[in-house]
């Protein structure tokens, strides 16, 4: 029996995905109206597609967006389960599944807690802001990479409340009124049509950083900076990669129109808060040990 490596499966998936793009593009070039007629039949109950070009591009790139990330999820899970000392703790998956079930219950019942400027949004903002402050503390204790983390979670926190626009009541600049899909003072709402793709990309990138990145030859010099190496050791110890792994899978499998954006954002806040706490704790332990020498 011939053994096929995970890398081979990933490469084959990428090849087939690119082949689909080329074949579909060629067919659309020959008979674009026929392609759109086919899509309207299967993608719309009334035969009308609100954004034909957007629908075409989504179908065109669907294999690249979904299949390679799914294969990569399998690679990460299988590689970690293959090592006895890296078994995934039960607590994290149980927490994520329980939290998602609670979130879906509120979502199905149109709970006011998930509405804009309500409990869920403020929970995400406050937890993210605390994470940013804790990362700032880590930076002051000598972890330079924590500066980047602090800035990332601060921007994320402020984007969550539109940089205080609805609190202070200031108007959006003309550029935002013209090009921002919600006419808010936010950056992420410039990209609403492709936000679901951005969520998959960001979580896959985070998963890659916490797992595969540290084992890549070209990333050796970067991953062996002391500040990054400490973070990766903590990720291995606490299996932090489970967070982005679960979020990528959830977002890919969620049907169109029901993407759990708020849930993912809440998990980013929880992830940042937890990461900041364990990083700060580890830095305090290291400083205490060094002072005792």
Closest CA to 76 of 271, 261, 241: 241
Whether 87 has a pLDDT exceeding 60, the answer reads: no
According to DSSP, residue 170 is labeled P
CA dist., res. 11 & res. 18, Å (int): 11
pLDDT at 83: 58
126 versus 11: which is more confidently predicted? Answer: 126
Q: Count CA atoms within 13 Å of residue 195 on its CB side.
A: 18
Taking the CB of residue 224, how many other CB atoms lie within 10 A of it? Answer: 11
Q: Read off the pLDDT of each residue in 89-118 and give the average, rounded to a whole number.
A: 85
Which tokens sit at 84?
């006895």
pLDDT at 43: 63
What is the SS3 assignment for 147? helix
Tens digits of per-residue pLDDT, 227-257? 888 998 888 888 889 999 999 999 988 877 7
pLDDT at 203: 94
CA dist., res. 95 & res. 99, Å (int): 6
Q: Read off the pLDDT of each residue in 102-124 and give the average, rounded to a whole number.
A: 86
Whether 85 has a pLDDT exceeding 70, the answer reads: no
Angle, CA 38 vertex, CA 35 and CA 43 arms, to 5°: 115
H or E element in which residue 205 lies: helix 195-210
């Amino acid at each position: 029996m011939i053994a096929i490596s995970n890398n081979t499966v990933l490469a084959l998936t990428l090849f087939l995905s690119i082949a689909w793009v080329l074949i579909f593009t060629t067919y659309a070039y020959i008979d674009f109206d026929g392609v759109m007629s086919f899509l309207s039949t299967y993608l719309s109950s009334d035969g009308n597609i609100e954004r034909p070009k957007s629908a075409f591009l989504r179908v065109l790139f669907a294999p690249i967006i979904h299949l390679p990330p799914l294969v990569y999820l399998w690679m990460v899970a299988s590689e970690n389960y293959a090592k006895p000392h890296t078994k995934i703790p039960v607590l994290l998956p149980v927490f994520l599944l329980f939290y998602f079930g609670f979130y879906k219950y509120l979502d199905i019942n149109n709970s006011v807690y998930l509405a804009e400027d309500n409990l869920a949004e403020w929970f995400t903002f406050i937890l993210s802001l605390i994470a940013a402050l804790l990362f700032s503390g880590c930076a002051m204790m000598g972890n330079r990479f924590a500066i980047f983390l602090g800035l990332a979670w601060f921007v994320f926190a402020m984007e969550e409340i539109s940089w205080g626009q609805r609190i202070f009541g200031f108007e959006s600049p003309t550029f935002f009124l013209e090009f921002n899909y919600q006419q808010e003072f936010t950056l992420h709402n410039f990209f609403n049509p492709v936000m679901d793709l951005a969520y998959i990309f960001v979580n896959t990138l985070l998963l890659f950083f916490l797992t595969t990145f540290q084992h890549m030859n070209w990333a050796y010099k970067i991953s062996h900076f002391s500040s990054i190496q400490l973070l990766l050791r903590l990720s291995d110890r606490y299996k932090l990669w489970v967070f982005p792994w679960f979020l990528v899978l959830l977002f890919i499998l969620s049907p169109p129109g029901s993407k759990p954006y708020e849930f993912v954002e809440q998990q980013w806040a929880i992830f940042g808060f937890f990461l900041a706490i364990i990083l700060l704790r580890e830095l305090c332990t290291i400083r205490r040990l060094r002072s005792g020498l």
